[in-house]
């Protein structure tokens, strides 16, 4: 059985002595020079938020959109075809959000949904909006929704059906 701090994530459990096959980080397979985020407020922050597992709870860096347009489209290519079992998304901690999910300091708020597109090499906002269905649509829980998670703010979302995320050469999370 996984240690409590490891339940639900997809990362290498060898340091915990867990059984093989429980999942591992895909970070070594990310083609970092080719990661691109459309509409990011800070250049290259799309690359920087793809953190090591042990750094996943850090507040910085984070990914914000331009103030006048809340959409983000993050293109994450891999160096080889991979299978994605889950995705970990860190929201703001409850200390930095109000009940309306808006950060009082900078007026930003986390997305309510994230659409995932798989194996689309040239996707922009207009093309994503015109597509009938994304590969998956995640409805994100607000960080304050689960008090026991609010200090970490990390929620792992399993990707189902798993067959849609096999032989993945890139994934594009889009919000909102």
- 3-class secondary structure for 85-139? CEEEEECCCHHHCCCCCCCCCCCCCCCCEEEEEECCCCCCHHHHHHCCCCCEEEE
Residue whose structure tokens are 């207009």: 126
pLDDT at 60: 81
pLDDT at 154: 60
pLDDT at 3: 43
| Average pLDDT, 10 consecutive residues per value, the chain (176 residues) | 45 37 76 94 91 78 84 94 87 45 52 88 88 88 57 70 86 83
Paired tokens of 147: 């008090």
Produce one character per residue of 15-34: b if its CB has 16 or more CB atoms within 10 Å, e if not. eeeeeeebbbebeeebeeee
Q: What distance separates the 2 farthest-apart alpha carbons in the chain? A: 47
Q: In what order do the strands lie in the sheet with 72-82?
A: 36-38, 72-82, 168-175, 113-118, 136-139
82, β-bridge pairs = 168
Paired tokens of 26: 């895909």
Look at residues 53, 52, 28, 48 and name the one whose alpha carbon lies nearest to residue 36.
48
pLDDT at 32: 95
User: In the chain, count of helices (H) and strands (E)?
Assistant: 3, 7
Q: Kindly report the backbone phi and psi dihedral angles of residue 63, in degrees, each rounded to the nearest multiple of 5, phi listed first.
A: -120, 120
pLDDT at 36: 94
d(CA 75, CA 122): 9
């Amino acid at each position: 059985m996984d240690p409590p701090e490891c339940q639900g994530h997809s990362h290498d459990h060898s340091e915990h002595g867990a059984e093989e096959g429980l999942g591992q980080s895909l970070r070594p397979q990310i083609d970092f020079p080719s990661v691109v985020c459309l509409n990011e407020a800070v250049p290259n922050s799309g690359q920087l938020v793809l953190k090591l597992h042990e750094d996943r709870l850090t507040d910085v860096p984070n990914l914000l959109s331009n103030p006048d347009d809340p959409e983000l489209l993050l293109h994450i290519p891999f160096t080889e075809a991979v299978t994605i079992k889950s995705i970990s998304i860190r929201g703001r901690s409850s200390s930095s959000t109000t009940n309306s999910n808006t950060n009082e300091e900078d007026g930003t708020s986390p997305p309510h949904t994230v659409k995932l597109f798989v194996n689309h090499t040239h996707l922009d906002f207009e093309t994503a909006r015109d597509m009938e269905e994304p590969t998956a649509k995640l409805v994100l829980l607000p960080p304050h929704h689960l008090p026991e998670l609010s200090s970490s703010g990390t929620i792992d979302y399993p990707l189902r059906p798993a067959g849609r995320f096999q032989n993945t050469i890139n994934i594009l999370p889009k919000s909102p």
